[in-house]
Amino acid sequence: MSFEIYFQRFKAGQMAGFPRCLVEEVFGWAMVTEKRNFSFTPLVYPSGAAGDMHIADTEEISSFTILDPATDELFDDLFILMKRIGAIIYWPDSAPCLAVATKDVEADLPSDMLAALGPGILVMSGRDIVMAIKGAL
């Protein structure tokens, strides 16, 4: 059974782009580009395989997906990038299933998305993201 985490950025209710190079700055050391298959890039950290990143091969992106996320390092990197660009993370589950690094990003989300995902769970670390996904925050 597969599990996905969606990483996305919004401004004024619309998807908002950010430079793909920011993803590469944070995750680059874990991206196994020589094993890239179309838009899927394996992520491997010192503690082991962390899943696959599905990301567009363009200079500007507004989102990416992590399939079968694992390892604490991956969640730490997700938090770093969330905080840096004002993005959100959400996952398939019953509400609340939305993590935010700052509460002000909720104002930029489409109202129907916020209604479906529930209020953002404020996270302060990669560990908090894991706890939010597990329903413990």
Rounded distance, CA 125 to CA 19, Å?
Answer: 23
Nearest one of 25, 7, 5 to 86, comparing CA atoms: 7
In the prediction, which pLDDT does 121 show?
96
pLDDT level of residue 80 (50, 70, 90 thresholds): very high
Mean of per-residue pLDDT scores for the chain? 93
* DSSP secondary structure string for all residues of 67-132: ES---HHHHHHHHHHHHHHT-EEE-SSSSP-EEESSGGGGGGS-HHHHHHH-SPEE-SSHHHHHHH
pLDDT level of residue 38 (50, 70, 90 thresholds): low
Question: Does the pLDDT of residue 118 top 80, yes or no?
Answer: yes
| Average pLDDT of the segment spanning 93-106 | 95
Instruction: List Cα–Cα distances, 84 to 2, 8, 71, 131, in angstroms.
Output: 28, 13, 21, 21
In the prediction, which pLDDT does 137 show?
58
In the prediction, which pLDDT does 49 show?
86
Rounded distance, CA 45 to CA 32, Å?
Answer: 10
| Average pLDDT of the segment spanning 58-86 | 96
